[in-house]
Amino acid sequence: MLIAAWLLAVVVAFFALAYLNAVGWVWTAAIIAALAAIWRAEWLSPLMLLIVAAVLLLPALILNIPSLRRKVVSNAILSAFRKVLPPMSQTERDAIEAGTVWWDGELFSGNPNWSRLLDMPRLRLTAEEQRFLDHECEELCAMVSDWETTHVYRDLPPAAWQYIKDKGFLGMIIPKKYGGLGFSGYAHSQVMTKLSTHSSTVAVTVMVPNSLGPGELLLHYGTDEQKNHFLPRLAKGIEVPCFALTNPNAGSDAAAIPDFGIVCKGEYQGKSTLGLKLTWEKRYITLGPVATILGLAFRAYDPDHLLGGKEDLGITCALIPTNHPGVNIGRRHMPLSTVFQNGPNWGKEVFIPVEWIIGGKAQVGNGWRMLMESLAAGRGISLPSSSTGMAKLAVRATGGYARVRTQFKTPIGKFEGVEEALARMGGNLYMMDATRMLTALAVDLGEKPAVPSAIAKLHLTERARQVINDAMDVVGGKGICMGPSNFLGAAYMQLPVSITVEGANILTRSLIVFGQGAIRCHPYVLKEIEATRETNRERASVAFDRALFGHISFVLSNMARSFVMGLCGSHCAGVPDKVAPETRRYYQQLTRFSAVLAFLSDVSMGSLGGALKRKEKLSARLGDILSMLYLCSATLKRYETDGRQASDAPLMHWAIWDAMFKAQNAIEGVISNFPNRFIAAILRRLVFPLGRPYVVPSDQLGHTVAKLLIEPSATRDRLTAGMFVSSSEDNPVGAIELALAATLAADPVEAKIKDAVKAGRLSVKARDDRIAAAQAAGIITAEESAALRRAQRLVDKVVRVDDFPPDLGASEMRTSSAVVAHKAAA
């Protein structure tokens, strides 16, 4: 009995010390205490106890003296580590080292500092930024009909193009000293979100020059001469930029582009000039067909060593006028019926001066790092914002449609099957908008959030796809019949574009989120790798020893924390007092997920080593855990920032429960598919000691969320804030808004008529004019009759779909196009 108690005490002490991440001397003291208990109980002979003490305390002594520990343990491991560590290419190193570690590092720590998240400043727009949203953005949206843009002009109307240039839309990220608007990342995101609620062509046209492209690259890496020349011209729309990266044979594997430039002497403006002779072929280049300045990525070679000793200089970026001899701008691509300008370009042995390299001669070969660092910020703004904008459009319009459209004498939004879809739409949008804003905040804080931006791009585009798909299921035939009154079809067709660009989602999920996050965000892995590259033996030994034993303590701590929090249902996890009472349990549960992520990551890296790179499904699931932690963090941050709005709480609760369930499934997926089944069995006992506790959001919660979408309220307005909402009934979304208001106003009048029929005071046949009969019988007034008729007219307008001549209007479109072309030529 005493032995059992001693064993239990040892186990409890082990998990307690590991949970608290106790220092080495505390562990040693615990070992001495355990041995003292054995001595007092006389369970071992003095000789056997001495042997056991020597076996345990001698290693403990060595491990507690850093200089001795390095000589006996760490240096040997460092030597072995250097031999087995797979080589890392320069492009891999640039990708991993690009950007900064921010809140993602806390999520990988196993014990996030939630106060750090909650203390982050609130996003605010300046008065100038707000005016731009309220006036210029509204005016631009009002100038454009998505149907006409797509089916008549096949481009933005000329007036819209000019307005975009004149009002500085192409220079939002360019500082004011260069003539740009100098907007914050948040303002940039707000503009992109609003434009995306109305027209993807407008949104993409504005998005690209303000994302990864010449403007961004010049700002951070250009020479003063390049900045002073190009940035004012880009800001005013005098130059229209594009950036060419994708080659037909190098899409997702962009670092393998075969496009090349040979350093050589050539003639430029009648003089012998040092430069490069470029050969390239690019496709999918947005704004390429109308660009005046071409940003080009290629691999530079210096066979004659004109720039130094190296021959393969690496990926390089240059700016080339599109009217430069040898530059060929191809015809247009048509990505899924969208008509933003997009197309191929190419050139063969095109000579450019070395001064056209972004950053000049000093930046030759640094192009990949430049692109990765710029992408870390730009990717966090553009696609998350456009995807959120599309989702806002779908949620607001579909919610209104579901209220005014009736079947079986009931608004379709009140059917449980439709409620299920609406609940997903509302919960997903709440989390999407929260993630968009948190990522924009990172950019405004000066971060280059490589991993959070990848998470935001991946999951916001995927959730936008789910929102649009759910919306299509709700609106049915209204969504599939194209025409000016269809508010959803264009988004449904075009959304896969955002899934594909700036890192295809399959690649981002399986290779980037965890692959980059595990090294960048882990508190010790990158330090261990860097120690192996250190040439000074003493510095390498000290750095590796510190990282290695910190890593070992980190693994033990997260193992214990995962197990203990699994036993206590996360109730033992500490959280700040400042959190809302209704969200306290979420912080505790997410702390548990953080510990589990850190533990599973270390076990995976330790047991699989370099093979983990090829276990893409396992890597993807580990990335999913990290992603759900980030999305939940954003959601909780938004709830606090918005002032803990009680009416918004159902949206927050639904989003968190859905994400926690998905995180649990990702954990289960890692364990169930772990290659070593013995390790998998141990992991299951440690991570889920009492089973899997998280479930999908309840039906009652979903009912509450769906109800918020189909009726006007402050919550619905906050959920879809920043939308362009027309007040015209000729606009499909405007018509739904008007129909919704009219329907709700007419409902009490309709109820009067129904009560009169039920009471026998009014008798009408199927084809009778019920409204006229009710008015004639004095049941409703003339004003109420007019309100009913207005509601009927607007609802009829909303539910109708467009029709066309037998040739689907092709002849009309040709005529309209000819007129447009004639006016443009005139």
Q: How many CB atoms lie within 10 A of CB 473?
A: 14
Cα–Cα distance for residue pair 517/502, rounded to 1 Å: 18
Give me the residues paired with residue 299 across strands: 260, 315
With beta carbons less than 8 A apart as the criterion, state whether 615 and 608 touch: yes
Residues in Cβ contact with 704 at an 8 Å cutoff, skipping those fewer than 6 apart:
650
Cα–Cα distance for residue pair 491/468, rounded to 1 Å: 7
Q: Which two tokens stand for residue 718?
A: 């906050």
Cα–Cα distance for residue pair 430/739, rounded to 1 Å: 25
Cα–Cα distance for residue pair 279/67, rounded to 1 Å: 56
Q: Could you write out the three-class secondary structure of 404-438?
A: HCEECCEEHHHCHHHHHHHHHHHHHHHHHHHHHHH
Strand 241-244, strand 293-301: pairing: parallel
**Three-state DSSP class for residue 349:** strand
Residues in Cβ contact with 53 at an 8 Å cutoff, skipping those fewer than 6 apart:
35
With beta carbons less than 8 A apart as the criterion, state whether 291 and 238 touch: no
With beta carbons less than 8 A apart as the criterion, state whether 233 and 761 touch: no
Cα–Cα distance for residue pair 439/431, rounded to 1 Å: 12
With beta carbons less than 8 A apart as the criterion, state whether 242 and 279 touch: no
Cα–Cα distance for residue pair 103/94, rounded to 1 Å: 21
Q: What angle do CA 630, 616, 503 make, to 5 degrees?
A: 60
Full DSSP string of 771-807: HHHHHHTTSS-HHHHHHHHHHHHHHHHHH------TT
Cα–Cα distance for residue pair 315/278, rounded to 1 Å: 12
Nearest alpha carbon to residue 300 among 263, 347, 326? 263
502 is catalytic: yes
**Three-state DSSP class for residue 137:** helix
Cα–Cα distance for residue pair 185/203, rounded to 1 Å: 16
Cα–Cα distance for residue pair 90/372, rounded to 1 Å: 12
Taking only Cα atoms into account, the Rg of the chain, rounded to an integer number of angstroms, comes to 31
From the list 239, 447, 502, 737, the catalytic residue is: 502
Q: Which two tokens stand for residue 515?
A: 């692959």
Full DSSP string of 32-74: HHHHHHHHHHT-S-HHHHHHHHHHHHHHHHHHHSHHHHIIIII
Active site amino acids: 502
